[in-house]
Structure 1
């Protein structure tokens, strides 16, 4: 016998995305839940009927109180509408909107509790990103200004100061157009500065309420502005940075016309019809008693037929809805009609007179008679087709940009590894040869090879610096530093280079400079070195002058100007606009003549921006250039000098004989798949430790096997290898020796230069970290650090 076909209602419930449920009250035993609950939560329908209260397990623990409060007030209010988070079977967090009501009989007794749950995760996507990824969003707002100014809503950014003040930092183009207030007029001002005490106080109170709520709040307001007084609906979202709410993002929507339309509807149907007729949207008036509709002229021109636009059966409107939207629109309106809502909006696709479909946003209002019966629905329609196209284009552009950025990061990481691997051999074997007995001419050739390798390594590091800045991973380390010593020692590094080109390198230090200030000495030295190096490179005769002077003092904060001037080739006006572009120099002839990556000034400019300043310059072709910037620094009583902050690197390696250490006779395991690197490391070790016992593993799996066969005293572990990488091998070795009293030191070897590589190595269980190209001094220090005398 064939089973009966499901009813139309069951087919609709099975196809819709929203979850419909019915339960007892107050026991909340589930009588019915629609099949869409499985796609929303990942749990089968039987899960919710298996035990009383099983549905509570999917509600996020932090949001359970929202649901409990709504259920507790249900008996008094008969209905609720709330938003909260759920956790699916696959541990995915989703935002949902739930609305429900009590069904009573004629005597007022509760029959059941019905409701509908809608997934609104996509609608709250932006809010989630702002709350959980505030640093990334701030960067995106800076890089994608077109999105901020492309919004039709009036948006503004407010900074929460430590003293409790609220300072307006930025507004978008829509805000300027809607209010008549310009960016230059409002930026940096508080609400009191802008509006005065009387009007500014309520604004500040709203900001304080948003901070107390720790989440988005919405309200309506009306503030007189140069463009006139309007009614706004405003949403404020506090942004948390480093555990403290530092910013508030506001979005205001002009609802003046909507308010006027609602007021006109109450006063007179004729006035309401007139307002809608002259608006840009089409309108409709649905008589719910006779089920007929009157449409505005504009709407009928777009969606109507050759008949009159009056007393049109509602079935005509339903026939225009796109087949993909018909079921859910019908269900949505049915739920609205059974609810107590008066105003609502929804978007769907509708067929136009020409045969194409348009995305339409309907804003509706339900009117009731004196007895509370629904008698009329009026509303307006807006064509969202172009907006949908723009949204799609922006979404695709964002996806492409993110994919490109990921590809760039992977490329730079791989490039670092691939270039540093052969450089390890070039620099390492050259350093070993320089310790051998050679003629002066042979040593001169080897020094040239060594310096060339170091120069290539410097270029690789420069590109990696650019990558770290570009990805936002560059962080400053503020240290109280002797400013005079830092600048003097930096200039001293270039005295020989300048003298070799017959260029006078001068340093001019203002006598009023403080001695100790808080800054990142490594990055300030890098900035000054880039500017001084460029000045010397592009100056054929004359001089280069480095000048440091105070320009403003306020309490413990001092503004100091750093400048580097030269009498070099200068920069043509037409080339100045691309001076700070990545991988670019003023013209191609400069690249051919002077070399370089074209990243020096880009990195310098980005570093100075990280220090909250800007690199500026003045230049005249053939007469020279001046590059300068101002840093606001905190003055201190004491600090460190350069000799304690920097390990001054030798330009060429120490060529003295390596002193042998015959006492170290340990068993060393070298895990390396590259034969060249394996030979180099072996030579460097045996050069100093001739009695050391070396054995080798070709990959991580081989290393684990050899460790089980015979435990070594020390392991050198390459990170990137076939079959099994160094991270996995280290984890397995640490697992094997879990119960052992002695822990075998493991030193990572890698050509990767990103800090994340080192962090991952240490987290996997390694004890130390050597970056290729490996210097003999670093290698010997590591060996003697980890091989104690008790194990020799």
Structure 2
């Protein structure tokens, strides 16, 4: 058990042979158990210490109870260790216990008490050989080196001032009559006199110098033997620097006295009769005379103790005495009685030693202190406000990379790094958070404002609103510091989420309703198209009066039902936000006239006076949506006629024109039944009228005013109502529209009033999937003398146009398989120029602006609204009929050029047919890179066009010939493709005419 002890000890005989050895001592010496069995303690002792150890053994075996001493041993690996030995003889008298302790540890133990009292000072301990065994933190700070770099090294290796060391060595050598060493400068006087104190200068590795005062004492054995030295170092660098600085300031102070606004008093030390410390004023500046309200002459020569009596100034004199004695500057804020200096409550009080006195600086800081009080009060109010609001305050130091957070609720605070801040923001919100910070710091946004999810202490997330601004920037304008608040908005976000879910549910219900109404309306519209179409065809057959009257009733009823369907579709579009205006240049006067003419018969049938007046200032041409404007007027005027049993209905239009814009005011007045005040708010609600009796009496869906109100709002206005029960109502609204320029005004064309026989028989392809619509459109076309082919879908339409030449395609846009828009787009991309050139007119359920634009984008030339009206169809057919029947405009002129020779004409046609593809190849290959070759090819095409009276091709060829070298590559390519299309249309026309000539010849 003894052998396993952690203490270093052994049992030896008088000759030093080891009888028992502890594990700790074996490990220290590096011995194995086998080695211990034959080992001698003296064998481990360094040769120069063996005699000393033999002497210690002799003493203990001679009868001394407690023998002590230090020695050095050599370990198995050759290291030399300092050990402290304590020997006790065992009772048997034949052996002794030898306990050992490392000398370093023993020395540390001896100086432990000193270390405890050496806080803030340096401590260096060396052994008798001068090796450093202790180097505390104070020494590290003074020397600027780490303890681990100097422990075990000789004292001479510590940095020192060479000149200073050399001078001290010289003094010691003279004093003790023998040559001294650098170690002696630290230890010699302490060894000889018991202690030593001296000053020393220490150069540091960073180039600075430390000034220390050193007190050295010897470390002794209990027997009095010196085993080392310990030095206490007090760093007086600050006081040395301060003293030098004070002297420098004293020299500068004299020059600054007159310029300074502070009170500066220069004093010299003078003791009173009892030897107590006092100061006499030797100089003051103008700031002092202002503060003291005394002239300089009365202040010079006064003692400081005289200012407010000995009792009040004793505390100040004590401070000045410390400044004078220690050289340490005084800097403090003091509060004084108003009777000392009237109007002054706080002073900044500073004092420094200068020569044989003290310079005292005083500044009135009353305003600053009061501002600090106001700031503290403001901070308290801010904290109270933050606590009440539950907000958090944050301060982001961009230079330090830290963010300080404090909560007003419990005044808790914490500082985070920028990395911790980034981690605290939800990953999905980090990009938006950093972008908001970047925009504010760069000046793009006036403040930082961002909603994001922040991590909670429990690992969850909460929604917060962060707001703040930059409060400090550097000279280059870069942000240095941001401050702001963070508000918990989790409850608000939950409410918003709930609201959004409710809105989505409501929108889904509204969409379902709108889709249902649209579907039902479409299903009703299709048979209505058939009814209206067949009635219109029947009326064209000039039936007898009774039958005509019945047909008129059917027609009116069908139109009324169609109007209701249209109203339902408009309401669904309004609720879905899909109703858009289609502004175009239009004639307001003509629009008003058509509206009045359409409604006048209804008013006259009821015996009402019906009048309309346009003010002279109302412009004729404007830019707006005439169809929707007319829809509003028809609804308002129609309601006025419906609800007026007798009297009159008046329509008034006024305008205020400013520059290129006109503000129009429309008013519809009637002498009808009027509306009760409590029902005014309901008349614009869908399916609502004045009351139930109104619905029963006058009928209607209650959608007219709803649609009119929403349309006026889309135009930027609002409908106003002024009504009295039994007197009548005035519905008015104002809209602002641009005036149309002359170049915007379209040419007007009056459509034919009835279906007439065509001047040229056309071959028409009708693409329509519904049998009723097929029947009505085909009957109308055949009634006009045209040839009609019918197909059921887009695929069939594409195949028919590719195989047969048609003058016109009427294309329903909604068909199964390939719809009309897809079919039109495919036709326009067909490789055959004849197929690509065929005119296409869309047939749509409602000719909305979006439908019109979509039709034009897919290559259609126009559109018709279903149910197709004869007048609208006639207008389209007339436009097509006016076009030349082929690319050759005058065959008689062509025949005259060949003197009527059919053979010559046929040879010319064959040459043109063969040249066309070759010429097209030349044009396409040269267009991108060789405009001159392209120009020559265009010239050849112009010659062919002139020969065959092909005006379109001639114009395109001459235009391309003239601009070939002036336009861009993309423009040349586009012009070439248009010319090639015209050239192949001419070829098709020539080939067809050639077949007719060949048939006539045979």
Using structure 1 for the length normalisation, give the TM-score. Answer: 0.49
Give the number of the structure whose alpha-carbon radius of gyration is greater: 2
Higher RCO, 1 or 2 (CA under 8 Å, sep at least 6)?
A: 1
